[in-house]
Amino acid sequence: MIVVAGGTGNVGREVVRQLVEVGEAVTALTRDPAKARVPVGATAVAADLTEPSTLGPALTGASAVFLLSGYSPDIFAEAEKAGVRRVVLLSGGSAETGDRGNAVARYMIETEDALRASGLAWTMVRPRMFMTNAFQWTAQIKAGVVRAPWSDVPSAVIDPADIAAVAVKALVSAEHEGREYPVTGPEALRPGDRVRILGQALGRDLRYEAQPDDEARAEMLHQMPAEYVDAFFGFYSDGILDEATVYPTVTEVTARPPRTFADWAVANAGRFQ
């Protein structure tokens, strides 16, 4: 049995779906199992990752666990106690910066360090920007103009399904233990490139406008703590995070190429209507 934390999230739901497809028994951890939509063959179980001591029943009998960064390292102790052998951690490219002064990088680095210090076999999966971040633009796309910051910063955006495909390979095989996997899409795209591609998928003439840093910062401060806003400005305005480099990880691990943003946009066009 394999346990998937965040089983209804962007990546977690794909991990659950793909594990079921290859015949694995799957438990999806979620806050509200009654409302969770999981594939036939998977079981939704209530769990609170902020309270590791409550996880024992869900982890008992599991051979491997897919976990998210940013939670107490006590989760790893609970996993060991339950007999789990292997953990695949959803981390991020910022862990590679080593910058513990950056709030986002810090929680990823500290989670990775805690996992390495445990007695569990591990694989770190470090994706770059998700293609699904484009859903943040839905209202603007309906209006025809997208204003977004960091116009000159390219990112090799990745489909969460491709992140999940790498994670699934690591969950079911010891071959990937002790590996740190940077996971990217097949091309680095600036925000304007993604808006143009979305317009083509939607059959609409969309316009991209570069959003000034001060305006973007004020907007973001309404959505997240200041230390996280500072972290993202460190990544993209100060350039401490490289998301432009394209890595062959998806192809090497899964034996198929990652999805392009154009293909993802076509497949998800209905969600922008």
- On whether the CB atoms of residues 133 and 157 are closer than 8 A, the answer is yes
Reported confidence tier of residue 97, pLDDT bands at 50, 70, 90: very high
User: What percent of the chain has pLDDT above 70?
Assistant: 100
Residue with the two structure tokens 């200041």: 226
Quote the pLDDT of residue 123.
98
User: What mean pLDDT value characterizes the chain?
Assistant: 95
Reported confidence tier of residue 179, pLDDT bands at 50, 70, 90: very high
Check pLDDT > 80 for residue 35. Answer: no
- SS3 per-residue string spanning 34-69: CCCCCCCCEEEEECCCCCHHHCHHHHCCCCEEEEEC
DSSP 113-133: HHHHHSSSEEEEEEE-SBGGG
Reported confidence tier of residue 263, pLDDT bands at 50, 70, 90: very high
Average pLDDT over residues 145-159: 97
Query: What is the maximum alpha-carbon separation in the chain?
Result: 56
Reported confidence tier of residue 109, pLDDT bands at 50, 70, 90: very high
